[in-house]
Amino acid sequence: EPEVTQTPSHQVTQMGQEVILRCVPISNHLYFYWYRQILGQKVEFLVSFYNNEISEKSEIFDDQFSVERPDGSNFTLKIRSTKLEDSAMYFCASTEYRGSPLHFGNGTRLTVT
C-alpha cells in the first residue's frame, strides 16, 4: 500500500539554526498537510497546501515557517531560526481529495538544543 514517507526520522539542531523537514506524499494525492505534536500534547494543525499554494494555516504557522513543493514529489517544511519550543514530532499527511482519508507519515522528531 502506498505510504507517506518522511525524512529524517530524527533531527537534532541548535537553537537559531534552520531546518528543513522533508516529505514524499502519496503520488496521486493532491492535498498536503503538516502537523506537529509536542511530547504529551495534542496533534496540532500547522498548514494545508493545494495547487502549489497554502490553503489554510494555523496561528502556530507564523513567519518562522514556510512550505514548498520544489518538484513533483517532495513537500518540505522549513523552520527558520529554530527555538527550543519547536522541539516536537512533525507529521506530514496527504489526501487524494477533500473529504478522503488522511494518510500520515511516521513523523520527524525534531530536537532543538
Partner 1 sequence: KQEVTQIPAALSVPEGENLVLNCSFTDSAIYNLQWFRQDPGKGLTSLLLIQSSQREQTSGRLNASLDKSSGRSTLYIAASQPGDSATYLCAVSNNNDMRFGAGTRLTVKP
> Contact region for partner 1 (CB under 8 A) — 16-24, 63-71, 77-85, 105-113?
105-113
Decide the pairing of beta strands 19-24 and 5-7: antiparallel
Minimal CA–CA distance to 5: which of 101, 79, 110, 76?
A: 76
Would you give the binding string for partner 1 spanning residues 59-78, x where CB under 8 A is met? --------------------
Minimal CA–CA distance to 67: which of 77, 57, 58?
A: 77
Q: Is 98 in the site for partner 1 (CB under 8 A)?
A: yes
Minimum distance from residue 95 beta carbon to partner 1 (Å): 9
Minimum distance from residue 60 beta carbon to partner 1 (Å): 11
Is the Cβ–Cβ distance between 105 and 92 less than 8 Å?
yes
Amino acid identity for residue 54 in this structure? I
Q: Which of 33, 79, 82, 110 binds partner 1 (CB under 8 A)?
A: 33
Is the Cβ–Cβ distance between 95 and 101 less than 8 Å?
yes
Q: Is 7 in the site for partner 1 (CB under 8 A)?
A: no
Which residues are near partner 1 by CB under 8 A? Answer: 31, 33, 35, 41-45, 48, 50, 55-56, 58, 91, 93, 98-107
